[in-house]
Structure 1
Amino acid sequence: MKWHESIKVKLIGFFIIISLFFLLFIVASFSLFKESLVEKNAIEQARLSTIRIVNQLMETKIKMEEVVVVLASMTAEKYTDKRLDNKVILAFMNAMSNKHVSSGGVWFEPNSADHSLKNEFIFFDKDKTDKFHLVRDYVLPNGKNYREMEFYVLGKQLKKGETFWTNVYTDPITHVRMITVVSPIYQDDRFIGVASIDMEVGHYMGSLKAHSDRYMMVLDRSGTFIAKSPSVKNVISAENIYKVKAQKVMPVAVIIRENLSKRKKKIIQKYKDEAKALSQSSYEIDRNDAEMIIGIMHQQENTIETETYFLEDDPILKTDSILAIFYFTDTGTSLVVGMSEAVVLENTNKNYSTIIWITFLTTVLATILGYLLLKRYFVAPLESVNAQLEDNIQEDGHYRFLNCEDKGEIGQLVYNLNSRTLALEDAQRREREEVRKRLANEKLLIQQSKMAAMGEMMDAVAHQWKQPLNALSMYSEIIKSDFADGSVDRKYIDEFSQNIQIQIDHMVDTLDEFRSFFRPDKENEDFTVSEVIDSVMFLTKDEFMKNRIVISVEKESEIKLHGSKNEFKHLILNIINNAKDAFNDNNIEGKRMITIRLLDDEHGRRIEIEDNAGGIPKEVIPDIFKANVTTKEEGKGTGIGLYMSMQIAEKYGAELTVKNVNEGACFTILFEH
């Protein structure tokens, strides 16, 4: 047995393969799990790194919204048919002391406060002492009407107590970048105006500090920057993400644009009609922005939606990064945080490496333990059984029973093997008995066949002796007559003696040939097939002549053999005697011919013995060379002649076959080259 055929090697290979597959499966699973964790970690890291600014944004947002809602409510409460007391508003604003509020106002519908005034508003601004004062000469440029401006149109769309944030804009009077939160003013469910609170964008900038491994930016719903961290400000000077032209920061801009566009697509298909009316109400609101505004106003829940993107060679961080975008659904504001991927995944990679090592070591230990357990409970019992099988025959020839302590399948296997051993010994005993009987029967049949052949040969010898015996009898009568006539002299006696000796020599030759035919050869010898055929013809020619059979021998090639000449004579004799019996059994009246050919050509070195005795029944041909098979009537054939002939042919490495040809059968003895 080769080493790689050992069950130990196969088990080790099996466990190694299973372990590798298991390890690969675990690694692949953890890799996929890691990918999902990356996004979660990125979001979590972004939340942790921006929790302060997000809280500040939310705190500022809530305070600003509280101020504008209270301002709108107070205005509605203090409003009279005459005028609103300006001092009340100023006192309220100064009392709020909100550092983020830089300006604001109360803006009325036509003739709502004073029927004589079509446009009435109260605008207040913060001076250098952080105190609010009224701006009495606040005039919109180019004679624009505040009711057509974005903040007023948005406020008019809201219900009582609701708020909404405008996009970032540049104040036409102060020329400062602003963002405004508005709330409607209702009195007795009648809309009378809009309260607004303004905040300078610069307040956000202070919250975004510089970091080497991250950057942040805040954008409104239209993509205008509300705030940028210093690293972003250094590379992006545009006021809107859609106006960024620098190619080196384009990968970041494209991701943000696609994110904003995706959110817009979710909304713009739903509120086309409302958006059309809204965009027509203000020259500052285009159709797309109007659709976004209507969508945000219809938002049922105020949530923060987060998406992450992986960016190779971030142009701002100069390394691979993870971009997290936080979208505030109630304002349409986006907080963008870019972080170094290495920093985000540092803990994840450490945990991943630890898990892989633990998995690898566990797999190795499980493999070793599994192999040892299988070796103890599977391989060892099999090795014990195999060792017993290698020396399983006792001196008396019987098999030893196998021993096994295993109580499971291997023990059951050993029990079955022992049962099979008992059955095998019984079968072998019965087979030996059958073989003994068969050999005895075959020996008896062979003996009978030899005796039958001997009887036929003795008949042939007797037939050949008949002629010389008749001649000797005739010579006896002749000598008597010639003696009476006085013609017997010395010369007569010499000739008479010579003729008698010729007849006696013929009888002796016949007897010697007969004796040598049936005498077993003491040793093998070289001989030719021609010699065998001549010997058979010498003994059988008279018998075949008596049965009107002509034997023709065609010696196209001589065939030399080494073995028992007399045994090979029996092969030829069996075949031609069968042909003789077939002629008589089939009552062939015409010319009876047996042709013996010695051939050596492209078809092989062979002997063909062909007759015209009627052939062999087709159903008998497949079994014709088996023992006890005969085509003769019961009592006339032993069924052993052709079986013996086949056995003799195989001794010479030849194949004996038969087929029907023309009006008879053709036996072929084909020798190996």
Structure 2
Amino acid sequence: MKWYNSIKVKLIGFFLLISLLFLITIMASFSLLKESVIEENAMKKATLGTAQIVSEVKSTQIKMEESVLILASIAAEKYEKDQLFKEIIHDILSKTQQTDIVSGGVWFEPYTINSEKANKIIFFNRDRTGKFNPVEDYMETNPDNYRDMEFYTIARYLKEGEIFWTKVYDDPVTHVSMITVVSPIYKDGKFVGVASIDIKIDNYAKYIEAFDNNYFMLVDRAGTFVTKSTLVKNHTQKKNIYQIDDPKLGSILKYIVKTLNHYEKKAKYNSSLANKLSESSLEIDLKDGQRIASIMSNREKTLNKNIESQIHFIKMDPLLGEKSVLALFHFTDTDWDLIVGISEDEVLAQTNKTYQIIIFITLIITILATIFGYFLLKIFFVKPVESVNKQLENSIQEDGNYILLECDDKGEIGTFVQNLNTRTISLENSQKREAAEIKKRIVNEKLLVQQSKMAAMGEMMDAVAHQWKQPLNALSMYSEIIKSDFEDGGVDQKYVNQFKDDIQIQISHMLNTLDEFRTFFRPNKEEQDFQLKDVIDSVLFLTKDEFLKNRIMVTIESTNPIRIHGSENEFKHLILNIINNAKDAFNDNNITEKRVIVIRMIDDHESKRVEIQDNAGGIPKHVIGDIFKANVTTKEEGKGTGIGLYMSMQIAQKHHVTLSVQNKNDGACFTITF
């Protein structure tokens, strides 16, 4: 037995296969689980990674909004006292302790403070020392009227106590890129002006300086960068995210722009308000007016939902040079967006570590379970099977009977052994019955052979007697002739010699017939090579007188001599049985026309074969299929035994030749194929 056919090897292979499938299933399950939680983990990681930035942004936003609300509230009460009011504004700006503030002030409607003066502003700017100084010539240096600027136009449509953040812009006087937070000033329910605080956008850069391993972008409602991390700056100097046309950044920009457009499209707004805003200020186009109107319209809805977020997975981040998680945080109250790119490995570091630990533990458990399961099966399955197999190897006794197997197993193997013992007992009984049947069959076959020989011998005796009849008659006639010739004195030496020769001819014919008869029934102890034509000639020599008596003409057609190996006398019996059946068929069917048996010996490219064909009417269809079986005959009861053709088939099978028959040309055609 090959080693790989061993049941132990198969069991080990089975457990390894099961373990492998189990491990693959576990890994696939955890992979699916990991995929299902990756977005949640990525959002958590992005939220944690940007918590400080978001916190700083929101903290600045809250403090600025508180300051501008205080400024608007005090302005509503004190604006009529001009000098005192200036001091109060200066104190408010100075005491905020917010270095982010670069300027601030209040801006009034025409003739609100002074009936003779249309424009009135109180505006302070922080110098390099951090002190706030009044800007007295703002109106002279600003080519545009402040009431046409974005911050003032938006504040005019705000309710008392509301605030609003402008988009990033360059101040026309200070030439600083800034963002302004504004709040309207109302006096007795009447809009009288705007309070504003300006924040320099460069101050936001300090919040992301510690995050160079990732990248960040903070954009306002129009897509203008409020601030961006070093990685982003190294790849683009554009001021607006919509202006970036670098194809290398396409893989992340398509998600960013799509998300920004999504928030913009889903926003609902007052179209009338949007039109008024765009018509009131050159700094506000229609699209920007729609954004502003949307923020104002949805202020109450977004009050409790301050930040919305989305996650995208980038296969190859052009900024990080690896897979990344792109997180987008949308500030609904300002319509700002914080965009964060984090390495996927960093996001999934803890998840991957946990995953590896679980896989390792699963692998160890799987190996231990495999080893434990193998030893259990070895004890409860392999050992009983090996014991049974060992008993089977030595289970045959000297007398040929089987020793019954023993097994202590109480389960399926024990039941199997018990059934095997039952089958063994049944097999022994069957073998005994079969041996008895074979013995009986051999006896019956010997009887059939003997009967066949005796039947053939009887027919041959008739043929010999018929052949001896003529020479015996001749000898009887010679005895009468010699007596008459002796009495007449005609017997001399010449007469005696001639008489002797004539008698010797008749005696030689009788001896040849007797020798052929004796040879025909003498069994061949050894097989030998012989010519098939010699066999046919021998049979026809013994049967020629019988066939002449029955008016049957036998002809031989031979193309080439056929030499075969086997028992010559058994083949004589085979040929004799076939032609005797033809003779009987002529007589049984009362064939009156010319009776012919044709023997053809054929040796061509197809095969070597002998065809024996007669015109005796053929074999009935219901019998022809069983004609070579024992006790099957077409003759009337008492005239045939059904043994001849059966014995012919046995002889053919013994010599590994094929014997077949078919009805052909008003007769039967037997074919012996070598």
TM-score range, shorter chain: 0.7 to 0.9
Q: Distance in 2 between matches of 1:239 and 1:207?
A: 19
Residue pairs, 1:67-86, within 5 angstroms: 67-72=67-72, 78=77, 83=80
Within 5 Å, give how 1:261-340 maps onto structure 2.
Answer: 261-268=258-265, 271=268, 273=271, 275-297=274-296, 298=298, 300=302, 301-308=305-312, 310=314, 312=316, 324-339=327-342
For residues 137 and 632 of structure 1, the distance between their equivalents in structure 2, rounded to whole angstroms, comes to 148
| Residue in 2 that maps onto 1:227 | 227
- Among 600, 605, 625, the alignment partner of 2:603 is 600
Q: How big is the shift at 1:533?
A: 1.7
Shift in alpha-carbon separation, 1:382–1:89, aligned structure 2, 3 A: farther
Paired with 1:186 and 1:125, the residues of 2 have a C-alpha distance of 24
SS of residue paired to 1:58 = helix
The alpha-carbon distance between structure 1 residues 55 and 90, as it changes in their structure 2 partners (threshold 3 A), is farther
Is the 1:124–1:134 Cα contact (8 Å) retained in structure 2? yes
Shift of 1:135: 5.7
Whole-Å Cα distance in 2 between the matches of residues 562 and 513 of structure 1?
21
Is the contact made by 1:90 and 1:133 (CA closer than 8 Å) also made in structure 2?
A: no
Deviation of the 1:259 alpha carbon? 0.7
Post-superposition offset of 1:208: 3.5
Pairwise CA distance, 1:324: 4.3
What residue in structure 2 maps to residue 518 of structure 1? Answer: 521
Deviates more, 1:20-29 or 1:523-532: 20-29
Q: Which residue of 1 aligns with 2:52?
A: 52
The yes-or-no answer on 1:611 pairing with 2:614 is yes
Q: Which amino acid aligns with 2:288?
A: D
Cα contact 1:313–1:321 (8 A) shared by 2: yes
TM-score, L = length of structure 1? 0.85
Counterpart residue type for residue 91 of structure 2 = N
Contact 2:307 2:329 in 1 (8 A): no
Deviations 1:606-648 (A, max 9, x none): 2221111112233433332222322222332222222211222
Q: Partner letter of residue 601 of structure 1? A: D
Name the counterpart of 1:365: 368
> Distance between the aligned counterparts of 2:582 and 2:149, measured in 1?
131
Higher deviation after alignment, 455-464 or 333-342: 333-342
Partner Cα distance (2:352, 2:87) in 1: 58
Partner SS for 1:512? helix
Q: Which stretch shows the higher mean deviation, 127-136 or 284-293?
A: 127-136
Does residue 255 (structure 1) correspond to residue 255 (structure 2)? The answer is: no
Q: How many Å apart are 1:182 and its aligned residue?
A: 2.7
Q: Distance in 1 between matches of 2:344 and 2:22?
A: 29
CA 1:190–1:647 in structure 2 vs 1: closer, same or farther (change >3 Å)? farther
Q: 1:663 aligns with which of 652, 662, 666?
A: 666
Deviations 1:83-113 (A, max 9, x none): 5777468537735832334444445566777
For 1:389, the equivalent position in structure 2 comes to 392
Query: 567, 575, 585: which one pairs with 1:582?
Result: 585
Aligned to 2:208: 208
Matches of 1:234 and 1:140 in 2, distance apart? 39
The DSSP-based 3-state class of the residue aligned with 2:207 is coil
Q: Which moved more, 1:625-634 or 1:662-671?
A: 625-634
The yes-or-no answer on 1:627 pairing with 2:630 is yes
Alpha carbons of structure 1 residues 110 and 399: separation in structure 2 relative to 1, 3 Å: farther
- d(CA) in 1 for partners of 2:288, 2:494: 161
Q: Deviations over 1:401-428 (max 9, x none)?
A: 3333334433333333333333333333
Determine whether 1:428 maps to 2:431: yes
- Alpha-carbon distance between aligned partners in 1 of 2:216 and 2:9, rounded to the nearest angstrom: 60
Alpha-carbon spacing, 1:390–1:624, altered in 2? closer, same or farther (3 Å): farther
Identify if the C-alpha distance between structure 1 residues 639 and 330 changes in structure 2 by more than 3 Å, giving closer, same or farther. farther
Equivalent position of 1:643 in the other structure: 646
Mapped partners of 1:412, 1:89: distance in 2: 108
Deviation at 1:62, TM superposition (A): 1.4
Amino acid across the alignment from 1:268: K
Moved more, 529-538 or 386-395: 386-395
Partners of 2:384 and 2:162 lie apart in 1 by 84
Cα deviation digits, residues 429-483 of structure 1 (max 9, x gap): 3333333333333332222222211111111122222223333343444455555
Shift of 1:129: 8.3
Distance 1:188 1:441 in 2: 138
- Does the 8 Å contact 2:516/2:542 carry over to 1? yes
The 2-side partners of 1:256 and 1:591 are apart by 110
Give the aligned partner of residue 531 of structure 1. Answer: 534
Q: Distance in 2 between matches of 1:22 and 1:424?
A: 44
CA distance 1:493–1:319, change in 2 (3 Å): closer
2:642 partner letter: G
Separation of aligned partners in 2, 1:606 and 1:234 = 99
In angstroms, what is the RMSD of aligned CA positions?
Answer: 3.8
CA contact (8 A) 2:109 2:193 kept: yes
Which aligned pairs between 1:108-507 and structure 2 lie closer than 5 A? Answer: 123=123, 138-139=138-139, 144-185=144-185, 194-210=194-210, 213-229=213-229, 237-243=237-243, 251=248, 255-256=252-253, 258-268=255-265, 271=268, 273=271, 275-297=274-296, 298=298, 300=302, 301-308=305-312, 310=314, 312=316, 324-339=327-342, 347=350, 350-482=353-485, 485=488, 487=490, 495-496=498-499, 498-507=501-510
How far does residue 515 in structure 1 lie from its aligned partner after superposition?
2.5
For 2:525 and 2:187, the matched residues in 1 are separated by 144
Per mean C-alpha deviation after superposition, the further-off stretch among 300-309 and 119-128 is 119-128
**SS of match in other structure, 1:623:** coil
Deviation at 1:514, TM superposition (A): 2.0
- In the alignment, the residues of structure 2 paired with residue 108 and residue 254 of structure 1 have an alpha-carbon distance, to the nearest angstrom, of 48
Quick check: 489-498 or 654-663, which moved more?
489-498
**Separation (CA, whole Å) in 2 of partners of 1:522 and 1:203:** 124
State the distance in 2 between where 1:357 and 1:621 align.
78
**Residues 514 and 276 (structure 1), Cα distance of their counterparts in 2 relative to 1, 3 Å cut:** farther
Give per-residue Cα distances to partners, 1:131-177, cap 9 Å, x unaligned: 76776654276664444332233334445544321111122232222
Any conservation in 2 of the 1:90–1:132 contact (CA below 8 Å)?
no
Q: Relative to structure 1, is the Cα distance of residues 413 and 470 closer, same or farther in structure 2, using a 3 angstrom cutoff?
A: same
Give the letter aligned to residue 51 of structure 1: A
How many corresponding residue pairs?
664
Question: Post-superposition shift, 1:529?
Answer: 1.8
**How far off is 1:191 after superposition?**
5.8
Offset at residue 118 of structure 1 (A): 6.5
Distance 1:309 1:290, change over 3 A: farther
Give the equivalent residue in structure 2 for 1:99: 97
Contact 1:210–1:231 under 8 Å retained in 2? no
- Higher mean alpha-carbon deviation, 419-428 vs 493-502, is at 493-502
Gap runs ≥5 in structure 2: none
Contact 2:597 2:615 in 1 (8 A): yes
**Could you tell me which of 653, 656, 673 is aligned with 2:656?**
653
Once residues 31 and 623 of structure 2 are traced to their aligned partners in structure 1, the CA distance between those partners, rounded to angstroms, is: 75
1:115–1:617 CA distance, 2 compared to 1 (3 A): farther
Q: Distance in 2 between matches of 1:192 and 1:35?
A: 57
Report the Cα offset of residue 267 of structure 1.
2.1
Cα–Cα, structure 1 residues 158 and 408, in superposed 2: closer, same or farther, change >3 Å? farther
Between 569-578 and 558-567, report the one with greater CA deviation: 558-567
CA contact (8 A) 2:251 2:318 kept: no
Q: How far off its partner does 1:61 sit? A: 1.0
How far apart, CA to CA, are the structure 2 residues paired with 1:391 and 1:84? 125
Equivalent residue number for residue 563 of structure 1: 566
For 1:405 and 1:240, the matched residues in 2 are separated by 87
- Contact 2:167/2:220 (CA < 8 Å) preserved in 1? yes
